[in-house]
Amino acid sequence: MDISTVIAGTRFDNPVFLASGIVDETLKSVERAIKSGAGAAVTKSIGKDERPGYAPPIISELPTGMINAVGLANPGIDDFIDEFRTSKLKEKIVVSIFGKDSEEFLELAKRVQEVGFKTVELNLSCPHVKGYGSEVGEDPDLVEEIITELKNKTNLKVWAKLTPNVTHIVDIAKAAEGADALVLINTVKAIGVNIWARKFSLTNGIGGYSGPGIKPIALRAVYDVYRETGKEIIGVGGITSYEDAIEFILLGAKAVQVGTAIYYKDFQIFNEISQGIINYLEKEGFENLQEIIGLMVR
């Protein structure tokens, strides 16, 4: 059964990718995800300068998922490049970058391109760091400018990862029209409270909500954006099983990313989902993955 998928002209063996920020700070972990069956792996988001991130607790487990405020911890682009340049799996590694404006994004993208990566994912959506992520990604003009700049001045494929924390995600998606693909969604702004300590569960207070609890929200984003823009979409948010993945695919996602599920099922999640998709396609009488992409919307 052929479950390969083509995103912006690039073919991936299977449509189950590792999401940015989950076991992907170090090269060896990223490669481990790929060797464990991920069709591609997105790195932790990298910025210009080193950031230690927030003090732990940086995650808080919930009955319905998890909230995190890692705080864009990253070694800075120099050390990142130094560590990742040696990889032989560059075709399957997508580098996530974050910046405060088009200049920063462009600078980062060029560095990434220089050492041979083919695709960047733009973090326009991290909800818990001032001046970055969703603060950039909720501004359609800025989104458009960043993408135009990167498409004009690099040869990279550009995936734009959008935030659900906006009134009309379709407006942002339209601003991101120039991107090769859209990644939907990043975490949902949220808070956890510990009533016995009477403190926030996370050091940073505000965090990003991920896991099963955000799946219905992510599905809505994928559906609305696919229906309204027809763009190539990678679905992410709360996927922990092949059934979840297929829900996204039926609504138009050409691939999915898996983050928090690593916490529930570890690296085997990739093969588990791929195998599940194969079984589903067989059982339901489809010839290949293509047949069900966007089936419920077309």
Partner 1 sequence: MKFSEIASAKKIGKDFFELSFSIDSEVKPGQFLMIWVPGVKEIPMSVSNLKNPITISFKAIGETTRKLSTMREGQRIFYRGPYGNTFPEPKGRAAYVAGGTGIASLLPLIRIHPGDVYYGLRTAEDIVYGEIVNFVSTDDGTLGFKGNVVDLFIKEDKEYDEVFVCGPEPMMKYFHDKIDRRKYGKIYYSLERLMKCGVGICDSCSINGFRVCKDGTVFEHEQLDMMDEFGTVRRAESGRRIFLK
Tell me the per-residue interface mask from 6 to 25 with ligand FMN, x by CB under 6 A, - otherwise.
-------------xxxx---
Q: Give which of 173, 194, 184 is closest to 61, Cα–Cα.
A: 194
What residues contact 170, with CB distance under 8 A and at least 6 apart?
A: 224, 225, 228, 229
Residue of 220, 263, 267, 290 that binds a copy of itself (CB under 8 A): 220
Q: Which stretch binds ligand FMN (CB under 6 A): 66-74, 145-153, 245-253, 276-284?
A: 66-74
CB of 160 to partner 1, least distance (A): 24
HSE toward the beta carbon, residue 280, CA cutoff 13 A: 19
Binding to a copy of itself in span 160-199, by CB under 8 A = 165-167, 188-193, 195, 198-199
Candidates 80, 223, 226, 270; binder of a copy of itself (CB under 8 A) is 223
Q: Which residue has the tokens 């580098």?
A: 95
**In contact, 104 and 135? CB cutoff 8 Å:** no
Binding interface with partner 1 (CB under 8 A):
22-26, 28-29, 31-32, 44, 50-53, 55-61, 70, 73-76, 79, 82-83, 194, 196-197, 199, 201, 203, 259-260, 262-263, 266
Q: Calculate the CA 138 to chain-centre distance.
A: 16
Measured CA to CA, the distance from residue 293 to residue 251 in angstroms comes to: 7
Which of ligand FMN, a copy of itself, partner 1, none lies near 105, with the C-beta cut-off 5 to 8 A by kind? none
The rounded distance, in Å, linking the Cα atoms of 139 and 153 is 21
Q: Which helix (H) or strand (E) holds 152?
A: helix 140-153
Give catalytic residue positions.
126
Distance of CA 74 to the CA centre of its chain: 16
Our finding on whether 201 is near ligand FMN (CB under 6 A) is no
Q: Virtual CA dihedral for 209, 220, 249, 89, nearest 10 degrees?
A: -40
Write down the least CB distance from residue 54 to a copy of itself, Å.
16
Minimal distance, residue 37 CB to partner 1, in Å: 14
Is residue 235 close enough to count as binding ligand FMN by CB under 6 A?
Answer: no
Q: Is residue 293 left, alpha or beta, with left meaning phi > 0 and alpha meaning psi from -120 to 50?
A: beta
Task: Tell me whether residue 132 or residue 226 sits nearer to ligand FMN (CB atom).
Answer: 132
- The answer to whether residue 60 forms part of the interface with ligand FMN (CB under 6 A) is no
Report helix, strand or coil for 209: strand
Give the residues lining the site for ligand FMN (CB under 6 A).
Answer: 19-22, 44-45, 59, 66, 68, 70, 96, 123, 125-126, 161, 186-187, 210-211, 214, 236-239, 258-261
